[in-house]
Chain A
Amino acid sequence: MARKVTASTKAGNTAVAWSIGLVISFPVLWTILMSFHSEGDAIRPPLAMLTSPWTFDSYGEVQTRSNYSLHFFNSVVISVGSTVLALIIAIPAAWAMAFVSGRRTKDLLMWMLSTKMMPAVGVLIPMYLGFKALGLLDTLTGLVMLMTLANLPLVVWMLYTYFKEIPGEILEASRMDGASLQSEIIHILTPMALPGIASTLLLNVILAWNEAFWTLQLTSSKAAPLTQFIASYSSPEGLFYAKLSAASTMAIAPILILGWFSQKQLVRGLTFGAVK
């Protein structure tokens, strides 16, 4: 029998859900609100700030002081480039782990994933020196390589989970039909795992876009992405709240929009195989 939900319960649940949602998104909303006020108004008490005049000045100033398009371009190259590279490496790897697994496959996967649990700062010095020695400091090539390797364990793990859901008989049928390994991956596996691949791609783009630790340590100007662009407005002296907020809003806007439009795909992909 279906449970009866009264109108008051519904209203109560809605109010609680909205409150939780507001608390979670408060920092982002407040940043956006501050970005539309002058530096002086931005630090006033909340009510006073909200009633003060709204302005686009901070956005104008940020545009004149920094090269937003360069940072935006760098963010796109780093996040998309590293995601595409990671997928190219991870699809065959996940195929092998899912369909020709050995006794140690699970251990290998766990080991790969465990590298994500290591604090990045622990390898900062060797990484910095390595980048310096190879001439990769402040280069897009270096950052794309680093982001690819940093997120590869997660990409392999996610794809492995999706691939495990595909019946092995279908791949065997393609082999009987004359498909080579390459054809099997291109014509059968990839189209069948497309929802999973798409959500892996989206999640990886978001992770790489938001990555701040390595981008702040290993870039300064030429290859600096939007995280560096935000950080440049963080200063111990002077009033920069509104400009910092404007820069932050400009940096997170693209990924927020991408996330908003792809939320269905993301949820579908992340829950793929969870319900049978």
Chain B
Amino acid sequence: MGQIVLKNVSKSFGATTIIANIDLVIEDGEFVVFVGPSGCGKSTLLRLIAGLEDTSGGTIKIDDRDVTGEAPAKRKLAMVFQSYALYPHMTVAKNIAFPLKMAGESQDVIDRKVKAAAATLNLTNYLERRPGQLSGGQRQRVAIGRAIVRQPTAFLFDEPLSNLDAALRGTMRLEISELHQQLKTTMIYVTHDQVEAMTMADKIVVLNAGNIEQVGSPMELYNKPRNLFVAAFIGSPKMNLIDGALASRHGAQTIGIRPEHIQVSKTAGDWKAAVGVAEHLGSDTFIHVQSDVGPLTVRADGELNVHHGDTIYLTPERSKLHRFDANQGAI
């Protein structure tokens, strides 16, 4: 079991509110990602669940047990930190064994579990090394090993991949997702990288200024953003937002169209545009243009032969238009 329920949870530092009365249910076995811009309170929320910060109000329940006032050690959660937080004076084996030692397990059990965790994470050959002798990816694996060896109720990940290079981040992302498939344990993952959020999550929680903006599956958030913030935050490149007369014609304050939902033609279309910068990625081409309706970003499949100063024509897919009212809510 690993159901986590937050009811009216808040956190303030003095007069500054970091988390404002949040209600959230994380079901057993779910992979939930907290995502949002820097300072939105996502890491604080994770630390409240971990017990590393005291709540200012509300209750946190894990499997129907109120853990609001409990110490981190008693919550049966495991956490992987952004900086890995490995014990530098211990070998890899001792790092992984530490939680078991604290739980009072026998040496036989510790040895067996450490070996199993090391085998799962390809660390068998590094057990006698110290963290300082490992690469970033290996250190992250040790941190994960230290977490899985306890068989916790839920795993908490605090931006665990942000210190790794892009290639390694991709590999580790897959490894964590595979681990979730294997263990079927609840995982809560904090990131500001929406690619990680979209690719890994069963459920994404979008946070902004201490409030939950929307909770839903990656596709729900992508296709049906509840408000302008979520619409602009989810998706890469960002959704194009257009105000003014064009929006009014659609009965909205603002309309949004994703870069991939705009057709590009060199001969005809709804909006005329001048190419500014074209980013050729091979699989896609991102074109930043100055159009009749303002600056836009367009995503074209494959290689599109356009260059700075070229004139192109754009046609939005009408069924994919998003409309927002004056309060920034979706219509």
Contacts and interface: CB of A to CB of B under 8 A. Distances in A.
A178 B102 contact: yes
A191 B83 CA distance: 19
Task: Identify the interface centre among B50, B88, B99, B102: most chain A CB within 10 Å of its CB.
Answer: B102
Interface string A168-191: 011011111111100100011001
Interface in A173-213: 173-180, 183, 187-188, 191-192, 194
A126 interface: no
A119 interface: no
Given A169-B83, A173-B81, A180 B52 contact: no
A201 to B, nearest CB: 18
A174 B87 contact: yes
B98 interface: yes
A114 B304 CA distance: 73
A103 B40 CA distance: 25
Overall SS of chain A's interface: helix
Contacts of A191: 89
A107 to B, nearest CB: 19
A50 B100 CA distance: 68
Interface in B21-48: none
B99 A192 contact: no
Contact of B73 (A167, A180, A192): A180
Interface in A123-154: none
Interface extent on B, as a size class? 20 to 34
A177 B105 CA distance: 13
Contacts of B87: 170, 173-174, 188, 192
Nearest to B47: A172
Contacts of B82: 169
A167 B82 CA distance: 12
B85 interface: yes
**Among all A-B residue pairs, the 4 with the closest Cβ atoms:** A178-B102, A173-B85, A177-B99, A169-B85
29 contacts: A167-B83, A167-B85, A169-B81, A169-B82, A169-B85, A170-B86, A170-B87, A170-B88, A172-B52, A172-B72, A173-B79, A173-B81, A174-B87, A174-B98, A175-B72, A176-B52, A176-B77, A176-B78, A177-B73, A177-B78, A177-B98, A177-B99, A177-B102, A178-B150, A179-B73, A179-B102, A183-B102, A192-B87, A192-B89
